[in-house]
Amino acid sequence: MRRALLMTLILLAAAAARPPLEPADPQDWWNQVLASRAVKAAEKIEPPSDEQVPYRTAYYHISMSLEPGGSPLIASARTTLDIEGLTDGLEEVALDLVDLVVDYVLENGSPASYTHADGLLTVSLNAPLDSGETTSIAVGYHGDPSDGMWYSTANGGVVYTCGCPFASRNWFPCRDWNFEKAPATIAVTIGDGYDVTSNGHLVSDVPVVNGRHRVTFESRDPIAPYLIMFSATDYSHYRDWFHGENDVPIDYYLYPGMEEDAHADFDYTVPASMAAFEGLFGSYPFERAGYCVSPLPYGGMEHQTCISLLAALVDGTGANYIIFVHEMAHQWWGDAVTARTWKECWLNEGFATYCEVVFDEDQGGDQGRRDRLQIHRNRYNIGDNNNRSPIYDPEPLFGYLPYYKGSWVLNMLRRLLGDEDFYAALTGYQADRLYSWATTEIFRDNCEDFWDGCEQHPDADLDWFFNQWVYQAGHPEYDWWWWTEGSGADTVLHLHLDQVQSTEHDTPYVFEMPVDFGVGFASRPDEVFTVWMDQRSQEFSFALDDEVVSVELDPGYWLLCDSEDRTAVDR
């Protein structure tokens, strides 16, 4: 990766430099991205339980006519939802719809009575719906969304959407929950000066009256409401390909004049990341990949098959490559397999963040893994110091913890299972939940299929791991020291470890984990010894055959912890 980026920089050296449009440090930029998401997600909305879901959406048909810069922005729209009953005798359907004015509601083409208040559109069905039966609800509406869809004067005018986490309801009626995944068709009618991109594949682009055209995309694969999107502006478009298990087109939609920077930023990194992830998690899960630029408030958003990026991130330097990699990783983790609720957001964000580690390891070996984990550790420290909380139902929702501690949790799980079983577990989890939703319990159960247990946990139960690292907060803090007795072939190494972390903010009194120690010897190669720490204070002894010259806790960088070597301290 570094060699490829260096070559790119050399090729671009003669080009006129564009003034920087984002902070010089891409990590600072990403911090701003996370902070923006955290503010937007401050109001958590609790979804229904499985028992409270009497019907499901089987298909989304979204069609709208837009007036960029005018009011209302949505001049007219019609969203049709194909609904399947999951219980008998269903009499009404409740849809989320905020801000917009409802013009009519139809069921299978016939008028249906409805109420629209407090962001909820409740439709009375013309006849009760039984389990397995389907009906079609069409909603006509117009208005100016306060969230989820925006108009910007950038690039001569841009209309763009982003529903994460709770704003799809601001531009189309839906049951705005992560688990409500279904195929979708998105049709946008707009002036001829606007090109349109959306999820899935382009179905048609046809002229209509008064210098306007209608662009239709279809996502054949199920998609969560918050991932449904479109973006419309004067776009320059080019196509690349990923030749993996399948030939996948990669479409780039850019503001005119960005092409050279885009080729430098994308043409190596994007296919390389897809290859790395496909080799470990299974084939790329969708019919198409791609990125589009817009004035996105988040910086980057993992819209299914059409990732949205703030245009300033595409600058030709390669400095922001990890954001492109992170969003691509979401196509596997977050899009193809989606956290059922936002309480489980670490299943999306922790996984995509650990894929940054995976990619840097793929490109730079184990040192690349360590370097990226150190960045994640630094970001975790900020989040933990500001507001320690578990990564399940974290506070704030899109703060540092589900991203960076989530990444470290997967790193530790990989150490526990071993590389082969860890990636087999992820591949199995991906295949089992493909195009559906998941929970931490589902992921844990899948991992247990690849965990043979150990002396301390012979029943192969991983509750102990997930309870302390996912459902509780913080990390272990070790004070430790070592000493030896004897010499030469009769050397005995003693290790003493104390866990000294406070139990405030739901931090475990004892973290139960294997702890590695790297031991350096006077006349033979270094060796790693592993102890099982399951008490507040423990001592371990090892009979050795050479003089010990050094001891290092966690030399492989596998354990999220603080440690202080007090060997030289007068105790």
Q: What is the pLDDT of residue 21?
A: 32
Phi, psi of 259 (to 5 degrees): -60, -45
Q: What is the pLDDT of residue 546?
A: 94
Q: Tell me, rounded to whole angstroms, the distance of Cα 19 from its chain centroid.
A: 30
Q: Quote the pTM value.
A: 0.91
Question: Cα-atom radius of gyration of the chain, to the nearest Å?
Answer: 26
Q: What is the rounded CA–CA span in Å between residue 364 and residue 374?
A: 14
Q: What is the pLDDT of residue 9?
A: 31
Q: What is the pLDDT of residue 396?
A: 86
Q: What is the rounded CA–CA span in Å between residue 120 and residue 104?
A: 15
Q: Quick one: tokens of 123?
A: 């439709």
Q: Residue 493: which of 531, 440, 466, 444 has the closest Cα?
A: 531
Q: Quick one: tokens of 212?
A: 């306007």
The residues that bridge with 289 in the sheet, in sequence order, are 250
Q: What is the rounded CA–CA span in Å between residue 476 and residue 474?
A: 7
Residues 6+ apart with CB under 8 A from 224: 178, 179, 180, 181, 304, 335, 338
Which helix (H) or strand (E) covers residue 141, if one does?
strand 134-143
Q: What is the rounded CA–CA span in Å between residue 468 and residue 560?
A: 12
Q: What is the pLDDT of residue 17?
A: 28
Q: What is the pLDDT of residue 496?
A: 97
Predicted confidence (pLDDT) per residue in 379-438, tens digit: 999 999 999 999 999 988 888 999 999 999 999 999 999 999 999 999 999 999 999 999
Give the pairing type, strands 289-294 and 307-310: parallel
Residues 6+ apart with CB under 8 A from 79: 60, 61, 62, 63, 138, 139, 141, 172, 173, 174
Q: What is the pLDDT of residue 14?
A: 28
Phi, psi of 401 (to 5 degrees): -65, -50
- Residue ranges in the chain modelled with pLDDT below 70: 1-52, 570-571
